[in-house]
Chains A and B, each alone.
Chain A
Amino acid sequence: MAVSSDILQRALDREKQSRKEAERILEQKATELYSLTQELSKSKHQLEILVENKSSEMSSLIQNIIDPYLLLDLNGYIINMNKASSDLFSEIQSDIPEGRLNLIDLVPIDERSRMAVAFQQMVEQGYVKDVQLSVKNKSGSFIHLLINASIVYNNEGVATAAQGIARDITTLKHLQDEKDKLFEDIEIRNEELNEYAHIVSHDLKSPLRGMNSLIHWIKTDKSNTLSENSLSMFEMIDKSILKMERLISGILKYSTSVIENEDQELVSMETVIRDVMDVIQVPDYITVNLPEKLPTFLVSQNRIDQIVQNLMTNAVKYVPKVDGLITWHYKELEDKHQFAIEDNGIGIAKKHHDRIFQVFQSLTDHKDSSGIGLSIVKKVVKSLGGDIWVESEEGKGATFYFTIAIQNRNI
């Protein structure tokens, strides 16, 4: 069956029409595509500028990090490193290969396995913290490094790179080692000193004991032949021996007084003074006045006890037997507590004010004084960061001042 020519003509017209339509659409698409490409290349250019700015910002940032800083890909290849880094590596590795560098190439051969382990650990847990690495530099001395490194994640939380910073702690480590060594030395010295003091005092005391027994024997043997005069001389020898023994015990006490480090605790000064008054049994004829305000502060309990006990004992000793008066004072200075203990005793002449704090200086031949007490007090006060001095005139009583450094609780 033949198709009429009308129909064929119309079909042909439609085909022509649609071809033109298709060409028009394609033309239009081509123009759209062209302007799109234009726009794209413009934005690409802008993006490139942006990226360039950002990366130069980044690299100057990285360069400005004082410590060696490295940016690596996840296989350990270097993406970026600052000058401190390249300086460090050229110091520890003599044959750095050319071209694309891996972290492994930068460390000396005998450190590579440790480095690999640390790197693996970082990849697995996302970071490594305070890893210490000691590497030899070219001249053979050790450089100690403290390494902190972590994985860098992108916006989607996917690991993309690793960054690490290595701090040269060589000087710090030397200082630390030196300090540790010094402390150790001091401890050994202290122990030696302590031992020495004990031995010396024992050695010094034994001839005294020998003399003591000899005199005793002579006295019992010759009691009827010795004159009154000789007997009283023996009596004096006895006393001198006793005094000598006390002096020796005193030296021992002095030399061992602040050897041990003692723990700090919060101590109430009022409690300290009242406890000391109980211990030394202040007689009834003496009045002790305490100020309204006394501090509670951080100090070694033993040492503050020692100071207060010595000063109180002295004051009690020297106040008159009638109307004895002891008065405590307190003042808070900027970084010190200042205490004072005032008595109405015999007083101390100006010329003696310095001497009394020296070892073996005692003003009177008080029977139970070795003359060492105040020198020990001074040593203890000094160990607490303070000072001690006296204000007095002969016959008008004395005031002993002492200070103690205020400790920061956090230390």
Chain B
Amino acid sequence: MKGIVFTEFLDLVESKFGLEMVDKIISSSDLESGGSYTSIGTYEFSDMLQLITNLSNNTDISVDDLLLIYGEHFFSVLKSSYPAMLAEYSGSLELLSSIENHIHVEVRKIYPDAELPSFEILSRSDDSLRMVYRSSRAMHMFGLGLMRSTFKHFNQKSDIQYEKIEEDGSVVEFKVQLLS
């Protein structure tokens, strides 16, 4: 997993819960990296899993909710790091339906070792989109957060439903409705 996902996460934890919380979740995890991350490095996904689980244990916020919040936050990181890529889209649905065959394709060109999910589009209309998320990392809630921020970014309203197809969350169907 890319270092920026870790550094942004730990910054967010520090700003919301303080440096003690950062220290706590790092100290209580058995991290491959020893706990230090740089945005240009690449690290084990299991590190992220431990950090998030320990944050959940220490805050009584569920892992899913934490991922959702982090996803919503992460969009602003993408926005400042890759403004050109976002500028190519005029609406949320256009952007969401292009993740698989454009956005993440470009990401892989920049970072050949990126671990990206796949999105299979089931149907698409002017105001709706159905697609299936697939990833062994089961970060669909992170995706949901990104989607919500996407709509906020374009000043659009949405109703996003999702349904786990695999119990562990590695395959999830999203039904996205654009509201007027």
Residues of A within 8 A of B (CB): 3-4, 7-8, 10-11, 13-19, 21-22, 25-26
Q: Could you give, for residues 36-49 of chain B, a 1 whenever the CB lies within 8 Å of some chain A CB and a 0 otherwise?
A: 11111100000000
Asked if A17 contacts B19 (CB within 8 A), the reply is no
Bound-state CA distance A7–B41 (Å) is 24
Distance in angstroms from B162 CB to nearest chain A CB is: 35
Asked if A25 contacts B38 (CB within 8 A), the reply is yes
Asked if B36 contacts A26 (CB within 8 A), the reply is no
Q: With an 8 A cutoff between CB atoms, is B112 at the interface?
A: no
Other than the given A3-B20, A15-B36, A21-B41, 6 more pairs (CB < 8 A) read A3-B18, A8-B19, A13-B36, A18-B36, A19-B38, A25-B41
Count of chain B residues near A, Cβ 8 A = 15
Residue of A4, A8, A11, A19 with highest tally of chain B CB at under 10 A: A11
Bound-state CA distance A410–B19 (Å) is 101
Distance in angstroms from B58 CB to nearest chain A CB is: 14
Q: With an 8 A cutoff between CB atoms, is B159 at the interface?
A: no
Distance in angstroms from A70 CB to nearest chain B CB is: 42
Distance in angstroms from A49 CB to nearest chain B CB is: 30
Residues of B within 8 A of A22 (CB): 38-41
Q: Could you give, for residues 101-143 of chain B, a 1 whenever the CB lies within 8 Å of some chain A CB and a 0 otherwise?
A: 0000000000000000000000000000000000000000000
Q: Could you give, for residues 15-47 of chain B, a 1 whenever the CB lies within 8 Å of some chain A CB and a 0 otherwise?
A: 000111011001100000011111111000000
Asked if B20 contacts A7 (CB within 8 A), the reply is yes
Asked if A18 contacts B23 (CB within 8 A), the reply is no
Residues of A within 8 A of B20 (CB): 3-4, 7
Asked if B40 contacts A26 (CB within 8 A), the reply is yes
Asked if A7 contacts B36 (CB within 8 A), the reply is no
Asked if A11 contacts B41 (CB within 8 A), the reply is no
Q: Which A-chain residue is minimally distant from B18 (CB atoms)?
A: A3
Q: Given A11, A16, A19, A25, which contacts B19 in the complex, CB threshold below 8 Å?
A: A11
Bound-state CA distance A281–B106 (Å) is 101
Q: Which B-chain residue is minimally distant from A19 (CB atoms)?
A: B38
Which 8 pairs show the lowest CB-CB distances between chains A and B?
A17-B36, A22-B38, A18-B36, A14-B36, A18-B38, A7-B23, A21-B38, A25-B40
Bound-state CA distance A17–B40 (Å) is 14
Residue of B34, B38, B40 with highest tally of chain A CB at under 10 A: B38
Q: Which A-chain residue is minimally distant from B24 (CB atoms)?
A: A7
Distance in angstroms from B50 CB to nearest chain A CB is: 16
Bound-state CA distance A21–B32 (Å) is 14
Residues of A within 8 A of B19 (CB): 3, 7-8, 11
Bound-state CA distance A21–B40 (Å) is 9
Residues of A within 8 A of B26 (CB): 10, 14
22 contacts between A and B (CB under 8 A): A3-B20, A7-B19, A10-B26, A10-B27, A11-B19, A13-B36, A14-B26, A14-B36, A17-B34, A17-B35, A18-B36, A18-B37, A18-B38, A21-B36, A21-B37, A21-B38, A22-B40, A22-B41, A25-B38, A25-B40, A25-B41, A26-B40
Q: Given B18, B35, B40, B41, which contacts A14 in the complex, CB threshold below 8 Å?
A: B35
Distance in angstroms from B165 CB to nearest chain A CB is: 38
Interface residues of B in 66-118 (CB under 8 A from A): none
Distance in angstroms from B61 CB to nearest chain A CB is: 21
Residues of A within 8 A of B27 (CB): 10
Bound-state CA distance A11–B10 (Å) is 11
Distance in angstroms from A365 CB to nearest chain B CB is: 109
Q: Given A4, A11, A21, A26, which contacts B22 in the complex, CB threshold below 8 Å?
A: A11
Bound-state CA distance A22–B38 (Å) is 6
Residues of A within 8 A of B36 (CB): 13-18, 21
Q: Which B-chain residue is minimally distant from A6 (CB atoms)?
A: B23
Bound-state CA distance A198–B29 (Å) is 128
Residues of B within 8 A of A18 (CB): 36-38
Distance in angstroms from B54 CB to nearest chain A CB is: 15
Q: Which B-chain residue is minimally distant from A22 (CB atoms)?
A: B38
Distance in angstroms from B12 CB to nearest chain A CB is: 15
Residues of B within 8 A of A26 (CB): 40
Distance in angstroms from B138 CB to nearest chain A CB is: 27
Distance in angstroms from A317 CB to nearest chain B CB is: 101
Residue of B19, B22, B36, B41 with highest tally of chain A CB at under 10 A: B36
Bound-state CA distance A18–B41 (Å) is 9
Distance in angstroms from A22 CB to nearest chain B CB is: 4
